Amino acid sequence: MTPFPLGRPARIAVLASGRGTNLKALMEAFPKGHPLGEVALVLSDNPEALALRRAQEGGVEAVVLPWRGRRAFEEEALALLEAKGIDLVALAGFMRLLSPRFVDPWYGRLLNLHPSLLPDYPGLNVHRRVLEAGEAWTGTTVHFVDRGMDTGPILLQARVPVLPTDTPEALEARVLRREHRLYPKALRLVLLGYGFPPEGLRPLVGEEAWARLQALSPRVRPFHLLALGFLLQAGKAHLAPEALLGRGGPWARGAFLFARLVAEEDPLLREELLELPEEVGRAVAGALFRVESPL
């Protein structure tokens, strides 16, 4: 269902069109020699991208594929990813839409970062639109890339408050700071095998539980997916259908606590780990540690 964990360090490619602060965060989280994975390649469609300089400064191979149309870019990029043995691709401020030719073979191993709480505010000029709408909260989303624009299954989100005094620039800066922590964490979820798109689960959970999963809103479904990811990696896949139906005992409760605590550190929720049977509590705490830990 998910090729991860690989049992060896993953080779990560980052595609970036601009300033590259999220690239920097990813390079710091996944340096050479990191047991989980290393940023091994940076690709840009823009020869002027600051991201390219950041890659070079960080000792990471940086390649420019100047934009000469989608087909040419995608063919070159696909060939390069294969030649370099890349396992996972992260879009970080990559401002082009990718076609099914690129997206389909990488589905499940291709992530995007978007500066809103998707499915709200897809597309461009997000912060200005959020302010104009008078929102009290915005946020950022990491999702698997599918054929649509900012539509793929959500992996992880974080909320960010909007202040009445914010300009689009001030809001962007606050969201960016949050993204620098969220994106590495989302990659760790995937590389550890906790995060994957839903489709592969259908045969595992059966039709009733699958229908329940499908009926959930796009912002709630990710918690269920992460909980199932936890059960899978804990060797408890057989509990997945029951868990989706709101049953499944302490392992299911532990799995959902894991999913919520991954998304948002909450001291009261963390205390509930102590109410679980010791074996379950230990498994959840261990999984959380691996996801939170930069090493």
Residue 22 or 138: the one with the smaller Cβ distance to ligand GAR is 22
Q: Distance (Å, rounded) from C-alpha 14 to C-alpha 1?
A: 23
Binding of residue 170 to ligand GAR (CB under 6 A): no
95 is known to lie in a ligand binding site? yes
Site string for ligand GAR, 23-62 (x = CB under 6 A): ----------------------------------------
Is 138 known to sit in a ligand binding site?
no
- 10 Å CB burial of residue 136 (0-12, 13-18, 19+) is exposed
Looking at the Cβ atoms of 183 and 251, the one nearer to ligand GAR is 183
Token digits of residue 241: 């259908």
Annotated binding residue at 97? Answer: yes
Residue 21 sits in the site that holds ligand GAR (CB under 6 A): yes
Closest approach of Cβ 49 to ligand GAR, in Å? 8
Q: How far apart are CA 187 and CA 193, in angstroms?
A: 10
Q: Rule CB under 6 A: is residue 229 a binding residue for ligand GAR? A: no
Please report whether residue 227 would count as binding ligand GAR according to CB under 6 A. no
Q: Is 282 annotated as a binding residue?
A: no
Any idea which residues carry the catalytic annotation?
114
Which residue has tokens 């029951």?
Answer: 242
Tell me: is residue 46 an annotated ligand-binding position.
Answer: no
Q: Name the segment binding ligand GAR (CB under 6 A); options: 40-48, 71-79, 109-117, 253-261.
A: 109-117
- In angstroms, give the least distance from the CB of 16 to ligand GAR: 6
Q: Which of 64, 78, 170, 176 binds ligand GAR (CB under 6 A)?
A: 176
Using CB under 6 A, pick the residue from 2, 12, 20, 171 that binds ligand GAR.
20
The yes or no reply on residue 115 touching ligand GAR (CB under 6 A) is: yes
**8 A C-beta contact, residue 245 and residue 209:** yes
* Sole window of 13-21, 157-165, 208-216, 238-246 interacting with ligand GAR (rule: CB under 6 A): 13-21
| Total interface residues for ligand GAR by CB under 6 A | 13
Residue 112, marked binder: yes
Does the annotation place 96 within a ligand binding site?
Answer: yes
* 22 touches ligand GAR (CB under 6 A): yes
State yes or no: residue 92 binds ligand GAR (CB under 6 A): yes
Q: Which of 38, 45, 146, 179 binds ligand GAR (CB under 6 A)?
A: 179
Residues contributing to the site for ligand GAR (CB under 6 A): 16, 18-22, 92-93, 113-115, 176, 179
